[in-house]
Structure formats: structure tokens, C-alpha cells
Structure 1
Amino acid sequence: MIANKSIIETSKKSRDLNPVIITVILSLLVIIPQYGLGLILKISQNIEILDKFFTFIDTNNLFFLLIIYSTALALILAYIFARKALERNCLSLGLVDDDKIKKYGKGLLLGFGLVTLVVLILDLTEFAEIRKNLNGFNLKFFMVFLPAWMIQGFEEEFILRAILMNQMAARGKIELAIIANSIIFSIFHLGNADFSPMAFVNIFLIGIIFSLIFYINDSIYMPAAAHTFWNMTMANIYGITVSGNSSIPVTLFKTKLKGPDLISGGGFGLEGSIITSLILVILLIFLSRKIKNTKPAS
């Protein structure tokens, strides 16, 4: 694999800092908003308006919404770290793209399409049962989730691909940078409920796929959109848990996963299913061949 424009720019302009140190700092930046949210929860008990707000959130089972919105702070802190501490410019971060809207649209379709394909296969093989959520769907709450997932998807891709992957790629082999940041992506999920070896493999595979999409397009927008709508399609369209997190009541459908966890994914959701593995491997083969037959964007 040859360096694309953003990797070359990272190599030329960025501060050379050990990737291990960068990984630790970025991990702390991800954790800070969650601790901040916990602190606000404690303080809110003594402030009436905040207490009412969190009571409303708790009553409607929407606390997970606050967690994914809190990733906005992690995104801001990561951007400041990249620009100031690492001396990275927007080009090196994959933020410069004249076709960003078109690529975001492609990412949307990819994320939605992958999840839908897996759900339909499980439904047809009777390892899942899909039904309309006639009473639980609320369009207003549904639309509130959309920007939250957009922020969360962009935040994870920006941190892992735009910052970490390119920083590693600028120091050594691009292939190793892709593998390393994808392993870290899986490690970030180790503490999630119902985590399994298959879940680790699938999150690693989807990390590789997002990394290759970032590399091929030399742009963060398509992988960010794919990540966003991978999560939102599971959570708010099909009503499936995302990476073992609590289920969300605001869903278009309710999907009951059935049968062995190896096939259905169990409590971790689709990301724990071997069917997901097969679909991701097929896409990975396609992307690998595309890299061999075409030059990366410049």
C-alpha cells in the first residue's frame, strides 16, 4: 500500500509522538466526558431544573442518548489535541474533501445496507424475528437520536482513523497501522456487556473496513457515516442492542434474536454473530481488491 495524500501530509507536518502515548491520551479524552456526565448527575440532585431533566430522561429510558451525545466533548478535545499537540492540519486528518456530502451519503447507505442484510439473513433463517414497534416508536425522539449517532460515529472514526491510523501510518507500514488501530477499536469494547471472542473478531473486521474506506477515499466522511448508520440502524430501526449496550425504546421495529449466540449474536447484538463475520469478510475482500486495482484518492 502506498501513502495517500493525508498520510503524506501527516508525515511531513505532524509532530512525531510515540503512538502508544497518543493512544493513552486519546483513551483518556474518550473517558473524560463519561466521568463529567456522572459528576453532573450527582450535582443535579441539588438543582431542581437539572433534577427534573434527568428524571424525565430516566422515566423515558433515554440515558444512553446522553452518553452518545457526550461524545461531542471527546470529539472537540481530540480535535484540539490533534491540531495543537500533534500539529496536524485538516488535510492530514481527512477533513478536506470537495465531495464530502456525496461520500457521507454513500457511507449512510453502506452502514444501513450491511445491518439490513445481516438482519434479513437471520430473519429468513429463523434466527431473528422482526415485528413493527407500534407503541414504542416516537418520531420526535427518533430525530433526536440522529444527530447523537452522527456525532458519536464521527468521533470514533476521527479518533481511530483520522488521528491514530494516519499517525501510525506516517511512521511505518500502512498495513500495520490499519491492523493496530482496528485491534485498539476492539479493545475499546472489552468492557461491554456480553462481549465474546466473536464480538472481538467482528469489531476488528469492521474496524479494518472503516480503515480501508478511509484510506481509499482519503476522507473521514464516508467511514464516519457508515459507522453512524451501522449503529443507528441496529439501535433505532431494528431495535437491536449495539455492542452489548442497553436496548433503546425508540425503534421502528423490534427484533428478537433467537438461537445459539454464535449465530444470532446473543446479548451483544449483531456484532456477535458469525453471519456478520461472513458479510464483513466478503466486503473486506472487495475493498482489498479495489485497493490493488486503483490508486488511492489524491
Structure 2
Amino acid sequence: LLVWLWIRFYERRGIATIGFEPPRALFLYGRGLLLGLASFCAVIGILAPFGFVAVEAGDPAQVGLAALGGVLLVLIPGWLIQGAAEEVLTRGWMLPTLAARYRPWVGVLVSSLFFAVMHGLNPNLSILAMLNLFLYGLFAALYALREESLWGICAFHSIWNWVQGNFFGLEVSGQAVSGGMLFNLMETGPDWLTGGAFGPEGGIATTVVLLVSMAIIWWWPATGRQPVGQPVAADR
């Protein structure tokens, strides 16, 4: 809310200018949801075949179909807003502001570092978890620059957190989630691989998925006016 007020009344521009332009919004948001779902499932796909995740016993009222109502309720007014809020601050406002004032790589680097530092007080944080948070920031920056929009990365961020916490029942950045879960999994392998108490975002499996995702985004055919890492003014 503070970012929106700053943009509207201090910078005197519309909210849409930070990456919420209407054209193709539904398509970009829907694609982001699917890519976020697939990406986190890839993390589980790395761990599960080797037995590094297992089903955990829990309260039957908080797992499966009995928890479906709460799981959906947490997604719609919860994760969809939370994920978008972080993206508005870091990729919607900070990244382009720094890129325009200095250089595009400065906006990407600083916004990614800031995103990692934002989670610096989360419980069970490790060095590898901080690295993965930074890598996620880089990935999100590349994603937003590639699409020249926030719709897709907002959806990706929100569904990633929801799938991790309320679909699979794992910790999200070191924190247990509320609202119930469809499956109740727990990590059973080494912490450096699974993330341990921080959740999968603190393990090498997530590192691999993020690095592969960044490579895909880098080589993804551009849909906007300029390649990744180039300022808007470059095509004028």
C-alpha cells in the first residue's frame, strides 16, 4: 500500500506503469500459475524418487479433503496478495527505479539482494537458504524483464508458496503455514539437500530448479520490446 501511495502521489504515475498493464493480463497470470506449480513440483520430483520426502502423520481435520476449504481460502485472499506485494516492492518499483537511475544490472542485483535480506529474520535460516532467496530474486527479475510485466511473476510467486505450504504441507521459508494442507509431507534426507527445518527453499534441490529456471528464462524468446537486461529506452 505504501509503495502504491508513493507511486501515485509522489511519482505521479499510475499503478499500471509498474507492470500491471491490462493487455494479456489473464494469459500472463495464468501462465505464471502453471509455471510456478510446475517449478515447485520439480523440487519435489528431485527429492521424492530418492526417498527424501515422506508422508507425515497429522491432524485428519487439517489434511486432505477435510482441509480443502481452508486451503483455498488461504490461497485467494492470502498467498495471492502476499506474493504480489513482495513483487510490487522489489520487481515492480525497486528494480526499474534503480535500473533507470544507474544501470539495469544494478536494479537486478540490488533488488535481488534486498529480497533475500527481507527474509533475514525468518526462523531456521541458513547460508544456503539465503543463497536460494537471492537466486529466486534473480530469477524473478529475469522473468519480469522478459515479460515486461508483473502479472506472471506475481502469479508464480504466489502459487509457489501455496503449493509448498498448503498443497504439500512443507515449511515456507522457515515458517509453518495455516489453513491446512492437501498432503502432509516432511523432509527425510540431509538438510543440505532438502532444506531441513527451513523447508525445501533451503536445500540444493531448489538451487538446481532455480538455476535451470533462470537458464530457461534467459533463452526464452522475448515477447516484449527488448531483451532481458536492457532498459526500455534502448529501443528508442
Could you tell me the TM-score, scaled by structure 2's length? 0.88
The one-letter amino acid of 2:62's match is: G
Structure 1 outlier segments of 4+, above 6 Å: none
CA RMSD of aligned residues (A): 1.8
More displaced, 116-125 or 88-97?
A: 88-97
Q: Give, in angstroms, the shift of residue 249 of structure 1.
A: 5.5
Q: Decide whether the 8 Å contact of 1:241 with 1:248 is kept in 2.
A: no
Shift of 1:184: 0.4
1:152 and 1:297, CA in 2 relative to 1: closer, same or farther beyond 3 A? farther
Is 1:142 the counterpart of 2:67? The answer is no
Asked if the contact 1:132–1:253 (Cα under 8 Å) also holds between the matched residues in 2, the reply is no
For the residues of structure 2 that align with 1:132 and 1:122, how far apart are their CA atoms?
Answer: 19
Deviation at 1:87, TM superposition (A): 2.7
Structure number with larger C-alpha Rg:
1
**Identical aligned residues as a percent:** 28
How many angstroms apart in 2 are the aligned matches of 1:132 and 1:297? 51
- Aligned partners of 1:195 and 1:273: how far apart in 2? 11
Q: What is the total number of aligned residue pairs between the two structures?
A: 221
Q: Matched residue of 2:186: which SS?
A: strand
1:114 lines up with 2:39 in the alignment:
yes
Q: Tell me, yes or no, if structure 1 residue 201 matches structure 2 residue 126.
A: no
CA distance in 1, matches of 2:55, 2:146: 35
The residue type paired with residue 24 of structure 2 is D
Residue pair 2:115, 2:133 contacting (<8 A) in 1 also: yes
Which residue of 2 is the match for residue 270 of structure 1? 200
**8 Å contact kept, 1:217–1:297:** no
- Cα-to-partner distance string for 1:101-129 (whole Å, 9 max, x where unaligned): 11111110111111111112211111111
Note the alpha carbon deviations across 1:252-282, whole angstroms, 9 max, x for none: 0011101221011001101101011011111
Inter-partner Cα distance in structure 2 for 1:99 and 1:109: 16
Structure 2 runs not aligned, ≥5 long: 227-236
2:170–2:176 Cα contact (<8 Å) kept: no
CA distance in 2, matches of 1:144, 1:178: 33
Higher deviation after alignment, 218-227 or 120-129: 120-129
1:238 Cα deviation from its structure 2 partner: 0.1
Question: Are the counterparts in 1 of residues 192 and 204 from structure 2 also a CA contact under 8 Å?
Answer: yes
Displacement of 1:296: 3.4
Residue of structure 2 in register with 1:251 after alignment: 181
Shift of 1:175: 1.6
Give unmatched runs, 5+ long, in structure 1: 1-75
User: Is the 1:182–1:205 Cα contact (8 Å) retained in structure 2?
Assistant: yes
Residues in 1 aligned to 2:144 and 2:177: alpha-carbon distance in whole angstroms: 29
TM-score norm. by structure 1 comes to 0.70
Residue 13 of structure 2 corresponds to residue 88 of structure 1: yes
* Larger CA deviation: 141-150 vs 128-137: 128-137
Is this contact kept in 2: 1:111–1:230, CA < 8 A? yes
Contact 2:7 / 2:15 at 8 angstroms: preserved in 1?
A: no
Structure 1 distance, partners of 2:152, 2:166, is 20
1:296 aligns with 2:221: no
2:86 corresponds to 1:156: yes
Residue identity opposite 2:23 in structure 1? D
Name 2:233's counterpart in structure 1.
none
SS of equivalent to 2:185: strand
SS in 2 for 1:259: coil
Question: Does residue 235 in structure 1 map to residue 165 in structure 2?
Answer: yes
Write out per-residue CA displacement over residues 80-105 of structure 1, whole angstroms, 9 at most, x where no aligned residue: 11211233333431111311011111
Change (3 A) 1:142 1:91: closer
2:115 alignment partner in structure 1: 185
Indicate which of 22, 40, 52 corresponds to 1:97: 22
Q: What SS does structure 2 have at the residue aligned with 1:253?
A: coil
